[in-house]
Amino acid sequence: MIHQFLPLTREEMQERGWTRPDFVYVIGDAYVDHSSFGPAIISRVLESRGYKVAIISQPDWKDEESVAVFGEPRLGFLVSAGNMDSMVNHYTVNKKHRQSDAYTPGGVIGKRPDYATVVYCNLIKKRFKNSPVIIGGIEASLRRLAHYDYWSNKLKRSVLMDSGADLLMYGMGELAIVELADALDAGIAIQDITYIAGTVYKAKDVSGVLEGIELPEFDVLNQDKMAYAKSFYIQYQNTDFYSAKPLIEKYGEKRYVVQNPPARPLTMQELDDVYELPYMNTYHPSYEKDGGVPAISEIKFSLTSNRGCFGGCSFCALTFHQGRIVQARSHESLVKEAISMTNQPDFKGYIHDVGGPTANFRAPACAKQMEKGVCTNKQCLYPSPCKNMKVDHTDYIALLRKLRSLPKVKKVFIRSGIRFDYVLADKNDDFLRELCKYHISGQLRVAPEHITDHVLDLMGKPQKAVYDEFCKRFEKINKQLGMEQYLVPYLISSHPGSDLKDAIALAESIRDMGYMPEQVQDFYPTPSTISTVMFYTGVDPRTMKPVNITSNPHEKAMQRALIQYKKPENYDLVKEALLKAGRGDLIGFEKGCLIPPRKMGTKTSKQDATEKKRDKKEKVSPKSEKSKKTGINSKADKTQKSGYKQRIQTKTGIDKKKK
């Protein structure tokens, strides 16, 4: 096997002695041959089985010849919008255009179309009418059945229908892509490949679908939000390999989309094999002239140790994409990759992360999951840890010890999300002690998300008392170690269930903690999450009970501003919110007030001086006991500020992916 990039141009293909590739892979990202990029994994898996794969990266969607670089492939086209949904990539939660794209050379925005999967497929089908087209990646995976689309504010059909593709692969895809390639290579028509786990196909007759569950047809879903909420929850209960049934969704007369059950989880050896394929571990050299691809900096010196998550957060799509069964790589594989990493010329001694969707998950939640699958009617950690859950950090501790003992390694950071309620459920503090002593640098980012219990319930997160207990334990251990380190809470504003009253309670909590969050995430309704269904339907699909929804952009802005109430530019919104909620008592110069009582949009010199004096008096020193308890040090190591959700997005793809 040649250790080099896969062909990105016809000239590179000819240099390999190929006259025609087996597959042409059209992707919305720049070509980065690294295992954190889904297309890299899928293409290398195919290569390992003897298939020839060529890459078309970010084609000009206005020119059908841009997908004809290599001519018509022998077996078919693969299509992925990239490591992120193209709409999330393009737009903020306020539906404003983003200013940069980390997955494009030079960070340039606009190199892929909106709804890239649909656009690329239509382009290919226009140019090559009879060539099989298979779609995957995070965008296709989470839009595989009818779904609410926030950007158009309507229910959309399965992306398989709108794209005209022949087959959709959802989830991580390594098993499905090999089975599909072998079937096509054997001469089986794409229309007859309806049996592969982890795929979705179109059909005119579903009488042969065994044990299939018929969902409400699309016309009904489009007219009845309650029907959609119920349909989604059926989907949610059928995301596990061991227990899921085929799902059938009807579109008009005799047109169906059929979702096969998910592919099985990979064994440890299979996962090792995937991550030990001959990746180049960087972007294609043709991008050097443009300044490279920014996204590589996030993951070049990071290790993916696991996939899957049994955390079950309502706003996260991991259940639909990677599943709830945790799969982990062996210590040997991770140490081998780490040693290779340390030999790279630009390695500075720091491994930036050892984790995945949740860093401290290294095994399935309980033994039952590998025999009967995950529970369909309850979560492992919410509302409290299941009595059957095995809580054990010893394997992760042993792995971290091996990695930090390697020559050339100065420090091993953990930047993936830490599930703090799982840490608290451990019978001892060994992991938390080692985490504080060796694996953070001043800050530990955690995700309480909110402080109001009824909002936390809707989020599927532990109650505030659990987070408070974790803060105490974190502070206690750092005191024992003689270290000054801080917790950096990750917070979400305007999540379903949260109103101005809840947002004000959150602001008061922030006031009492003594710091101002540097970053706030306004709830973003992305496809295929429970929270998004709440946002669209106004009910919790698990219980069908009504949920208060904040969809008005101005009220969302007020909730967001309250979390950063000290910022001068937020003053008017904060004052308006307080007055609207009847909380004028929080406007004043007295202790406990959030803002001073000046006119909105103005500030007298006297008020300005008084406010500055108050702020100076209340300013918390990083060395103070109060700051120890709450923790933001604005000058702390920036390498600890990579968001949990960015990590999920970076670790997902056609079927690798995924904040």
DSSP 199: E
Residues 6+ apart with CB under 8 A from 81: 27, 28, 112, 116, 117, 120, 137, 138, 139, 140
* Per-residue pLDDT tens over the stretch 3-21: 899 999 999 999 999 999 9
Once rounded to an integer, what is the mean pLDDT over residues 404-431?
Answer: 96
Pick the more confident residue, 250 or 519. 250
Spell out where 426-485 has E strands: 443-449
What CATH fold (topology level) applies to the domain 301-441+641-659?
Answer: Transcription Regulator spoIIAA (3.30.750)
**Position 649 confidence tier, pLDDT thresholds 50, 70, 90:** very low
CATH 3.40.50.2300 fits 10-265, yes or no: yes
Share of the chain above pLDDT 90, in %: 87
With both helix axes pointing from N to C terminus, report the angle between 553-563 and 500-513 in degrees, rounded to the nearest 10: 20
pLDDT over 70 (residue 659): no
* Per-residue pLDDT tens over the stretch 508-553: 999 998 877 877 899 999 999 999 999 999 999 999 999 999 999 9
3-class DSSP state of 655: coil
d(CA 382, CA 386): 8
- How does the average pLDDT of the chain come out, rounded? 91
pLDDT in the model for residue 3: 80
d(CA 634, CA 120): 43
pLDDT in the model for residue 625: 36
* Per-residue pLDDT tens over the stretch 50-101: 999 999 999 999 999 999 999 999 999 999 999 999 999 999 999 999 999 9
- Which residues of the chain form CATH 3.30.750.210? 301-441+641-659
Once rounded to an integer, what is the mean pLDDT over residues 233-261?
Answer: 96
Range with the poorest average pLDDT among 287-291, 573-577, 613-617:
613-617
pLDDT over 80 (residue 39): yes
Pick the more confident residue, 637 or 507. 507
pLDDT over 80 (residue 295): yes
pLDDT in the model for residue 641: 34
CB atoms within 10 A of CB 14: 11
The per-residue DSSP string of 372-386 comes to H-S-SS--SSSSS--
pLDDT in the model for residue 598: 81
Strands 23-27 and 213-214: unpaired
pLDDT in the model for residue 377: 87
Strands 147-149 and 154-156: antiparallel
pLDDT over 50 (residue 360): yes
Using CA atoms of 188, 191, 196, 199 in order, give the dihedral in degrees to the nearest 10: 140
Alpha-carbon torsion (106, 302, 79, 162), positive or negative: negative
What CATH fold (topology level) applies to the domain 447-636?
Answer: Transcription Regulator spoIIAA (3.30.750)
Q: Which residue has the tokens 């957060």?
A: 313
pLDDT in the model for residue 602: 55
* Per-residue pLDDT tens over the stretch 317-358: 999 999 999 999 999 999 999 999 999 999 999 999 999 999
**Position 605 confidence tier, pLDDT thresholds 50, 70, 90:** very low
pLDDT in the model for residue 628: 35
**Position 174 confidence tier, pLDDT thresholds 50, 70, 90:** very high
- Identify whether the C-beta of residue 409 lies closer than 8 Å to the C-beta of residue 349: yes
* The pair of three-digit structure tokens given for residue 164, joined into one six-digit string: 């005209």
pLDDT in the model for residue 599: 67
The per-residue DSSP string of 585-628 comes to GGBSSSTT-SB--PPTT---HHHHHHHHHHHHHHPPPTTSHHHH
- Identify whether the C-beta of residue 563 lies closer than 8 Å to the C-beta of residue 448: no
- Which residues of the chain form CATH 3.30.750.200? 447-636
* Per-residue pLDDT tens over the stretch 178-217: 999 999 999 999 999 999 999 999 999 999 999 999 999 9
pLDDT in the model for residue 253: 87
pLDDT in the model for residue 654: 39
CA-closest candidate to residue 533, choices 261, 258, 236, 243: 236
pLDDT in the model for residue 601: 56
pLDDT in the model for residue 298: 84
* Per-residue pLDDT tens over the stretch 96-140: 999 999 999 999 999 999 999 999 999 999 999 999 999 999 999
- Which residues of the chain form CATH 3.40.50.2300? 10-265
